[in-house]
Amino acid sequence: MNPSDYFLASIDDLRLRAAVQRIAPRFDRLPRHLREIALQLHFTPDHLARHCHLSESTVRKYIDNFYKALDVRNDIDAKVFDRTTVICFAAQYWRMRRQEAQHDADATGW
């Protein structure tokens, strides 16, 4: 079992687990600058703005854009969980899956 499988299995709430599984693959479709922000969403927008040398309003605009791009719906996902929570879990799962895929490709020589 891969670490990402353990991570996913550790999410006790089935609704959150399903949202993470549905949303994580969509990170591949995000432009790099949005993905960079999404992967650091566990920080406050103010902290992200300072870290990324952007204005806080730009960071907030990016956050709104990737909620739309990832199709994190208020009516389903955020009714039970904050959208940020769903994105943080999905980002971690996506990152782990990507690292595993890279490791597998390196091991096979691709």
| Domains of the chain, residue spans | 3-8+28-108
Residue 110 pLDDT: 58
Residue 24 pLDDT: 92
Which pLDDT band holds residue 10 (cuts at 50, 70, 90)? very high
- Give the pLDDT confidence of 22-78 residue by residue, as tens digits: 999 999 988 888 888 888 888 888 998 898 888 999 988 888 887 888 887 664 555
Written as six digits, the tokens of 91 are 């980002």
Residue 104 pLDDT: 81
Say how many C-beta atoms besides its own lie within 10 A of residue 11's C-beta: 16
With contact defined as beta carbons under 8 Å apart, do 89 and 27 qualify?
Answer: no
Residue 35 pLDDT: 85
Written as six digits, the tokens of 80 are 């039970």
pTM for this model (two decimals):
0.80
Residue 91 pLDDT: 92
- In the predicted structure, residue 108 carries a pLDDT above the cut 70: yes
